[in-house]
Amino acid sequence: MNQIKHFIHLCADIIRKHKFAFFWIPVFLAMAVIFVFSIMPPKQVEKTGIEGFGFSLNNLHFVAYFALSFLLGIALWHSNKGYLNRNHYILAILVCVAFGSLNELLQFFSPGRTPDFLDAMNNGIGAVIAQGFRFVLRLEKKCLRRIF
């Protein structure tokens, strides 16, 4: 049992020391993947087989921005800056909507791609629902702490 506690404390120390890398690298990787798929010509996207997971392209927009918003909200919440920490829900949504809108605009310059308002809307909906999900998870965690 002591070995497990020691391992948990060791992991917590590593996370505290490398907080930026632990929380922000996944956000930047998600943004890079979304950006690459956003400017990639449709034929190349089909070749990747990403639609083979049972998602339509509209659903992929929702899922990608849900994941990005979730990761971004966690990274903002764990930041040392007070204004980032206090406003993590709204900032995560705003950054995701801005990033999604920029990607849609950049598709205008990408061969075979066109900007689509519905895609931008799905991006925003995914970001908002992710933050709502995070809010519910945090409330649930607070309620469980009070009970136990």
Domain residues for 21?
2-147
**Which whole number is the average pLDDT over 84-112?**
90
Alpha-carbon dihedral sign for residues 67, 70, 71, 72: positive
Task: Match 């920029």 to its residue by tokens.
Answer: 102
Confidence category of residue 54, pLDDT binned at 50, 70, 90: low
Residue 51 tokens, joined: 């639609």
Tens of pLDDT along 76-95?
A: 988 777 777 778 999 999 99
Interatomic CA distance for residues 2 and 23, integer angstroms: 27
CA dihedral of residues 51, 55, 61, 65 (deg, nearest 10): -110
Q: What is the pTM of this model?
A: 0.81
Give the chain's mean pLDDT.
84
Interatomic CA distance for residues 30 and 106, integer angstroms: 17
Q: How many domains does the chain have?
A: 1
Confidence category of residue 144, pLDDT binned at 50, 70, 90: low
133 pLDDT higher than 80: yes
In order of 5, 46, 104, 117, the CA distances from 56 in angstroms are 44, 11, 17, 16
